[in-house]
Amino acid sequence: MAEETKTHIYALRTTANREDQVMDFVSSNAQKKKLEVFSIIKAHGMRGYIFVEAATAVEAEQAAFNVPYARGILSKEVEYKEIEHMLEQVKIEKDIRKNDVVEIISGPFKRENAKITRVDKIKEEVVVELLEAAVPIPITVKMDAVKVIRRETEESDDEEKEEEEFRMPGMKIKTRKK
């Protein structure tokens, strides 16, 4: 059986928005120096820090030594449970269908209502046509950039409910025979 080495996670402070470059430099440094660095992690939504999984603190420091935009390894080791919620990204399935009326929530058409004309689940994009536009122009946006306001099938159900609401209890409806 192979001997399992205990790994430690260390936080490496970086210049904001330069995390990817620092990861590349640290990775190449670790390979050149043959250091025991097992993984380098950029946590989603965490700017200015990356995480280095290494055998010892010295190994992590050596990997980050003389790396541009790296500010230094934090002295305290990071526990996995502290960063676990940032690493495990849960994919939320959005139920967006053709002919849905949506509101665009980001981008240049923010707060505009539109109708879905096509859904591409692989690319996670939708093609919409703005409702208030004089000429319908198809616009491709990410699924994250839209919020469903109402469904085409729900509209017919809502109309039937409205008709029922206006009837008084005990009221008889007469129909004419043709």
CA angle (51, 56, 61) in 5-degree steps: 60
Domains of the chain: 8-87 (3.30.70.940), 91-151 (2.30.30.30)
The CA–CA distances, whole Å, from 152 to 59, 99, 113, 115 equal 59, 6, 14, 10
pLDDT tens digit at each of 178 positions of the chain: 455 678 899 999 999 999 999 999 999 999 999 999 999 999 877 899 999 999 999 999 999 999 999 999 999 999 988 888 877 655 566 788 899 999 999 889 999 999 999 999 888 899 999 998 899 889 999 998 999 998 876 444 444 444 444 444 555 555 555 5
CA–CA separation, 40 vs 50, rounded Å? Answer: 7
